[in-house]
Amino acid sequence: MGEEQNRLVGAVVKMSELPDSEKVDIRGKRYAEVHTRVQIFRETYGDDGKIISTIHVADDTRVLAETSISVFVDESWRVIANDFAEEYRASGPVNKTSAVENCLTSSIGRALSACGLSGGNYASFDEVNHAINDKAEAPEPKPEKPAAKKKAKPKAKPKAKAEAEPEPKPEPDPETKDIEDYTFGEMAEITSKEGAEGLVNMMLELATEFAETPDQLKDFYRANKATVDVLDRDWNEQYEQLREGFVKLKDNLTEKETE
């Protein structure tokens, strides 16, 4: 095992041994904050490590950021992980003033998780806290203007059509969970096995938390189909783990319904 591999393994072990007192509890699960992951990366690599972030989109509506993690190996820089984050400016008080900073923090935390520096959960405390408390729905796309209709030739005896009264919309159920709070953004390629496994674990955790019926589990799967497709395309072993996890969860939910 080369020196750079020993260093990375050492950082992963150090992160995995991080005591719960240095993590934050959210709904019974422990999450490491981004600054903790950055600190352990810097303690391990010093000047031989780079954390480089790029803003791909920063308009009046949303911010999309990407972060790459590089290490200096054999007299050259090598990218060992990268990941993305997306924020909407309408989501909570933080993003109204600091959406770029918030998005960069999330992308840095996710990229370090792709290196294995997750401390047990792929998402960081910052991401999960924001997803639960502040995440807004993506804005509705602007409707396209309907194409001009050709004038129809008048019929000899047109039949009068009765105007149908619109059906009243049902009142929203305050107990219903919002699927948007459990939906991943667009995924790029996943660059490491640790990143793929961490993503699978996070998806199963969110599916377990969201789905209380088999139908809700189907909704979760459809909402995250793009992410599942990335795993199916590039990470067959991890995709099978995800598929088996969904099957087991579906069986458990079906069994509860029949009790």
pLDDT for 130-166, tens place per residue? Answer: 544 555 455 555 566 566 565 555 555 555 554 445 4
Q: What is the chain's length? A: 259
In this prediction, residue 175 has a pLDDT band, given cuts at 50, 70 and 90, of: low
Q: Looking at the predicted structure, is the pLDDT value of residue 11 above 80?
A: yes
Same domain, 15 and 123: yes
Q: Which helix (H) or strand (E) holds 92?
A: helix 92-114
Q: What share of the chain is helix, strand, coil (3-state, %, to 5)?
A: 50, 15, 35
Rounded to the nearest 10 degrees, what angle do helices 34-45 and 3-16 cross at?
A: 150
Per-residue pLDDT reduced to its tens digit, 214-239: 888 888 888 888 778 887 888 888 88
Radius of gyration of the chain (CA): 23
122 and 196 assigned to the same domain: no
Is residue 162 situated within a structural domain? no
158 in any annotated domain: no
In a domain, 171, yes or no: no
What pLDDT was estimated at residue 49?
A: 93
Residue 178: inside a domain: no
Is the CB of residue 1 less than 8 Å from the CB of residue 9? yes
- Nearest residue to 185 (alpha-carbon basis) of 102, 59, 32, 62: 62
Question: What's the confidence (pLDDT) of residue 1?
Answer: 47
Same domain, yes or no: 127 and 222: no
- pLDDT band for position 63 (50/70/90)? very high
CB 242 within 8 A of CB 200: yes
Query: Which domain, by its residues, includes 226?
Result: 190-259
pLDDT at 180: 65
Q: Which of 92, 118, 135 is a domain's end point?
A: 135
**For residues 171 and 182, what is the distance between their CA atoms, to the nearest angstrom?**
22
Integer Cα distance of 240 and 231 in angstroms: 9
Nearest CA to 131 out of 179, 193, 60, 197 is that of: 179
Where would I find the beta strands (DSSP E) of the chain? Answer: 24-26, 29-31, 49-58, 62-73, 76-88
Confidence bin at 127 (pLDDT 50/70/90) = low
69 φ, ψ (degrees, to nearest 5): -110, 125
